[in-house]
Amino acid sequence: MELELQPLALPGIRPERPVVIAGPCSAETEEQVLNTAQSLANRGTKIFRAGIWKPRTKPGGFEGIGVDGLAWLKRVKEETGMLVATEVATSKHVYECLKAGVDILWVGARTTANPFAVQEIADALKGVDIPVLVKNPVNPDLELWIGALERINGAGLKRLGAIHRGFSSYDKKIYRNLPQWHIPIELRRRIPDLPIFCDPSHIGGKRELVAPICQQSMDLGFDGLIVESHCNPDQAWSDASQQVTPDVLSYILDLLVIREGKQSTESLSGLRNQIDDCDNQIIEVLSKRMRVCREIGTFKKEHGMTILQTGRYNEILDKRGAQGALCGMSSEFVKKVFEAIHEESVRQQMEIINK
Ligand code: PEP
Ligand code: MN
């Protein structure tokens, strides 16, 4: 299904800079919400975020202040002129937000993973024109992400955006949620007109990672950022370690380098031609390799040999991995490439043997 989109038309801090949505993970108290909002507004933020209902992995944590917090968001609008955004996970959340004049809604990562919940939200939004941002599902499933956007679009909402907040993994190392940048990049390829926001706070899980992840997303041509900012991050009731003060956020945003997205120089088109040339050669060499593989397949068939010769496969992976490392590539990358090539070779030989 093709999405029918309209521009989000959200205000940015400055033209030619990304649209920034900032605010605390959760609305905690009226004072915390208004303090944070005022500081952010003073530093140029135009869109304020705060979670009113918080989906928590385990019971017992702070599950959000609930509807009472919506009145605080109303005050933020009145006193700072910012637009306000919050997460919705049920039709009740949607009705409460619309009643309270919330300007932008987002669907959280745990909700996007559940088509029943997304459909419920879509149904509750039928006939309403409000920007909706859809976070990626917790699991790295692009189709599920696109499916959620389709459901909401199907209800008539055209001002849509995506938020990349990283993907959950069992063994966490540097990141709280692995960025797996190729997934939002593929989303861009599939739906070029869909604005993509980066959420460096939930990807990184720690303050120090906010700036580099913001920069990386800008280098990849993302359209906006949604960043958690709290007037007193260490005391935050949720996600304390990843929130930054409005001051730090403004410093991070000022230092961001925004590069020209479109091709602007002659030399770049020359380089692109070289890339096309390389890609052509890769395809030619691969097809030659497959031809030889099919010959080997015929040989193996005639001599009653098995297709998979494990010793030979390991030898290829090790040899090429080491060679790749010598040529300035990661040996893991080269091994992955040869694994994929080997898989296709085996498939082609199977065809010959079973003929
Ligand atoms: C949030 O934005 O605070 C949040 C709960 O994010 P996510 O849905 O990405 O986990
Ligand atoms: Mn959070």
DSSP 281-313: HHHHHHHHHHHHHHHHHHHHHHTT--S--HHHH
Q: Is the CB of 135 under 6 A from ligand 1?
A: yes
Pocket-testing residue among 199, 213, 225, 241, ligand 1, by greatest number of atoms within 8 A of Cβ: 199
Note whether 79 and 30 are within 8 A (CB). no
**What is the H or E stretch that residue 157 is in?**
none
Question: What CATH number does domain 19-255 carry, 2.60.120.620, 3.20.20.70, 3.40.50.11270, 3.40.1190.20?
Answer: 3.20.20.70
pLDDT for 264 equals: 57
pLDDT for 53 equals: 98
Q: Whose CA is nearest to atom 10 of ligand 1?
A: 109
Every domain range in the chain assigned CATH 1.20.59.10: 268-353
* pLDDT digit string, tens, across residues 96-111: 999 999 999 999 999 9
Measured distance CA(215)–CA(218) in Å, rounded: 5
Judge whether residue 267 has pLDDT over 70: no
**Which ligand is located closest to the Cα atom of residue 230?**
2
Every domain range in the chain assigned CATH 3.20.20.70: 19-255
Alpha helices for the chain (secondary structure H): 30-42, 68-80, 91-100, 109-112, 115-124, 142-154, 182-190, 200-204, 210-219, 246-255, 266-302, 310-326, 331-353
* pLDDT digit string, tens, across residues 159-174: 999 999 999 998 767 8
Query: What's the CA-to-centroid distance between 227 and ligand 1, angstroms?
Result: 11
> Could you tell me which CATH number the domain at 268-353 has?
1.20.59.10
Q: Is the CB of 165 under 6 A from ligand 1?
A: yes
Q: Six-digit token pair at 107?
A: 């669907």
Q: Whose CA is nearest to atom 9 of ligand 1?
A: 109
Q: Is the CB of 64 under 6 A from ligand 1?
A: no
DSSP 126-147: TT----EEEEPPSSS-HHHHHH
Confidence band for 261, pLDDT divided at 50, 70 and 90: low
pLDDT for 262 equals: 59
**Which ligand is located closest to the Cα atom of residue 176?**
1
Query: What's the CA-to-centroid distance between 27 and ligand 1, angstroms?
Result: 13
pTM of the model: 0.79
* pLDDT digit string, tens, across residues 29-62: 999 999 999 999 999 999 999 999 999 888 888 9
